[in-house]
Amino acid sequence: MTSAFFSSTCPHDCPSACALKVERRDDNTIGRIHGDKSNPFTAGVICAKVARYAERVHHPGRLRQPLRRTGAKGSGQFKPISWDQALDLLAQQMNQVAETWGAEAVWPYFYAGTMGQVQRGSINRLRNLMGYSGQLTNICTAIGYAGWKAGTGKICGTDPRELVDSDLIVLWGCNAVATQVNTMTHIALARKRGARLVVVDPYRNHSADKADLHLALKPGSDGALATAMMHVLFRDQLVDREYMARYTDDPAGLEAHLIDRTPAWAAPLTGLSVAEIEHFARLYGRARASFIRIGLGMSRQRNGAVNVHAVSCLPALTGAWQERGGGALLATSDLFHLDKTLIEASDHARPVRQLDMCRIGAVLAGEPADLQGGPPVKAMLVQNSNPATVAPESARVRQGLLREDLFLCVHEQFMTDTALLADLVLPATTFLEHDDLYTSYGQPYLQLGLQGIEPLGEARSNHWLINQLARRLGAEHVACGWSERELIDATLLASGYPDLEQLDSMGRLDCSLPSEQMRFLDGFAQPDGRFRLRPDWPTGEQVQMPEWPDYWPVNEGVDQRHPLRLITPPARHFLNSSFTETDSSRAREQQPKLLINPGDAAEYRLSDQGLVRVGNTRGEVLLVASFTDRVPSGLVVVEGIWPGRDFVDGVGINALVGADAPLPGGGAAFHDVAVWVRSAG
């Protein structure tokens, strides 16, 4: 058999957006996948799970035909039907719901199963053309981005390719070894030149294993740590007063605020010793070009926005932004200026309610505040997301999705927890079977991923499905008559980028700004160009957010009944709930495990590898306990968003996570949970 390699881009929701070289064999199958060496950020390195992507594309569990439910809701009994029948049924249900209850009773729900702009955004085109309910798309970045913007004003920062020029790299709530391997590629180069690596993380994760220094702080205490570090920086004359006078809003006000925010104040709040805080603050203050890579992980707390802002203040005190390789980065999203008007028909948007995707359980339960005076949700089309598994308060989500009076259509690659609850399941293509255009939230390249193989079975792309549906619903729009390639081409041109053909021959477009601008040396994105040490929180919140960087104690606190804090970070071999279906990823992650310190385990009389029940007021889950000194006393960790069916009782970890909206703009505090544990035999 002959084969050849074609270029593509990893579509998964990961900051890396790796450039790929994919082997296509002449029997319409995928072979090997390598990182593209010609992309300077990917630099030929990709994660193990995407290198094995053939396993996912050609998986026997891939959905290949439209399926209609035959048994009770959630029974898993379906029968194959044709695409025409499926689309007619879907259109008829959506029309009927809209006629009876109003268009806002239809909720097109999506997230980032693919990050491709066309396949991700098409569902919004239908929403806008039909006046269906809007969605607050806040499950991942809302808290972190709010915190970062409160200071810098813009979602970008030091070019990640400059990590190599740094002499001190801090992975702050960022498990790069697992969640963005390329960052580690560049960190390794910096370390060869003598850079030191610090990891700030509640437990010893894979990244902490590689660090020179690991600070195991309590979850949600980053604001206290950063504030005390700032105290030390001022006290020990490690601040750059000239830089602050020029680039920040109120250094004198901050200095006064910090007077009593000493390491001794922060020690009990963070669980770190005074010596650890002093040492880290001086290490940071004395570095020439310190680079803080802030992870979204640290933002998944009720005080996450305040914490991200506090950490983002550090380089504004030392002036690290002035050095190549110095400064900080949360994400690169604002480097791209893609005009999505055509993809999303945003010029047709109507003033509809915005339903909170993290509160899908409450929305489906008909909570009046969540419905915002509008009709109950009676029909849903889900693309690119697995809300039954990934959304908080998942028991309530499941209950809602099982409602007899809800018509649920799920367009998926696999029979996920969500698809299992559907009335209609439609088969979706993978990125290798359709065309798309990719930006990134962790690197500066605009890239293409054009179709490499024919769709498997009857799988169809999101764009195709939306256009077929639009036709049946009578929605008219120029993009509904276009192929993906035509839409990509027109979008590129409307955005002032090279067209599809040019971009394809260029390989990629570097959308970075000159290094100095990435480091805000031409001013921060605030009206006066100054970084806000005194954060610029959106106004009108019911709760006053702290005026200065501080410790803001609004976390789900432990109490006698819930003595432990739980965090639920991603697993290395999964990508959110994706890859929980492939054997090789499952073999590496084994099973859902409660990581617990041996001392705590003894106190609660658990046995290693024995069953443990974990719970709080929201629910209970049953899984295996795994003793480890990677996790400090008082904390428990469950890695990976496993499907509910992988837990002993069928209930997944997000049953324990709260869906109350963190300030200032909502989101989900996935790593901010108090629990009890009990031996279960």
Ligand X SMILES: Nc1nc2c(c(=O)[nH]1)N[C@H]1C(S)=C(S)[C@@H](COP(=O)(O)OP(=O)(O)OC[C@H]3O[C@@H](n4cnc5c(=O)[nH]c(N)nc54)[C@H](O)[C@@H]3O)O[C@H]1N2
- Locate all alpha helices (DSSP H) within 287-413, ordered by sequence: 304-318, 341-344, 360-364, 368-371, 387-390, 394-401
Output 140 or 426, the one with its CB closest to Mo ion: 140
C-alpha pair distances (Å), 512 with each of 112, 156, 300, 387? 23, 10, 28, 34
Q: Contact 65/83 with Cβ under 8 angstroms?
A: no
- State which of residues 17, 129, 140, 195 lies at the interface with Mo ion (CB under 5 A): 140
Question: Residue 412 touches which of Mo ion, ligand X, none (CB < 5 to 8 A by kind)?
Answer: ligand X
Q: Which residues pair with 290 in a beta bridge?
A: 168
Classify 206 as helix, strand or coil.
helix
Task: Please tell me whether residue 124 binds ligand X under the rule CB under 6 A.
Answer: no
Interatomic CA distance for residues 500 and 450, integer angstroms = 10
> How many CB atoms are closer than 10 A to CB 381?
26
Question: Among all residues, whose Cβ is closest to Mo ion?
Answer: 140
Closest listed residue to residue 9, CA positions, set 422, 509, 403 = 509
Of the candidate residues 63, 335, 545, 641, the single one contacting ligand X (CB under 6 A): 641
106 φ, ψ (degrees, to nearest 5): -100, 130
Q: Residue holding tokens 């709760």?
A: 543
Given ligand X, Mo ion, none, residue 172, with its beta carbon under 5 to 8 Å by kind, binds ligand X
Q: Could you say which of Mo ion, ligand X, none residue 197 binds, taking C-beta under 5 to 8 angstroms by partner kind?
A: none
Task: List Cβ neighbours of 496 (8 Å cut-off, separation of 6 or more).
Answer: 337
Is there binding between residue 203 and ligand X (CB under 6 A)? yes
Stretch that binds ligand X, among 152-160, 217-225, 259-267, 334-342 (CB under 6 A): 217-225
Q: How many residues bind Mo ion (CB under 5 A)?
A: 1
In the list 19, 105, 139, 306, the residue contacting ligand X (rule: CB under 6 A) is 139
Stretch 453-492: interaction string toward ligand X, x if CB under 6 A = ---------x------------------------------
What are the b/e assignments for 263-286, b being 16+ CB within 10 Å?
bebbbebbbbeeebbbbbbebbbe
Stretch that binds ligand X, among 22-30, 448-456, 525-533, 652-660 (CB under 6 A): 652-660
Number of chain positions touching ligand X (CB under 6 A):
57
Stretch of 146-154, 172-180, 335-343, 522-530 lying at the interface with ligand X (CB under 6 A): 172-180
State in angstroms the smallest separation of the CB of 528 from ligand X: 30
Taking CB under 5 A as the binding criterion, the range among 68-76, 118-126, 138-146, 339-347 that sits at the site for Mo ion is 138-146
Torsion, Cα of 216, 141, 308, 544 (10° steps): -120
Scanning 133-141, 155-163, 213-221, 261-269 for contacts with Mo ion by CB under 5 A, the matching segment is 133-141
Q: Does 616 bind ligand X (CB under 6 A)?
A: no
- The dihedral sign for the CA sequence 487, 489, 490, 496: positive
81 vs 493, which CB is nearer to ligand X? 81
The alpha carbon of residue 363 and the mean position of all alpha carbons in its chain are separated, in whole angstroms, by 22
The residue range among 84-92, 136-144, 616-624, 646-654 that interacts with Mo ion, by the rule CB under 5 A, is: 136-144
Q: How far apart are alpha carbons 169 and 92 in whole angstroms?
A: 56
The one-letter code for the residue type at 140 is: C
- By DSSP bridging, strand 445-449 and strand 508-510 are antiparallel
User: Applying CB under 6 A, which residues contact ligand X?
Assistant: 13-14, 111-114, 119, 139-140, 172-175, 178-179, 200-203, 205, 219-220, 222, 295-298, 301, 383-386, 390, 411-414, 416, 428, 462, 567-572, 574-578, 641, 653-654, 657, 670-671
User: Applying CB under 5 A, which residues contact Mo ion?
Assistant: 140
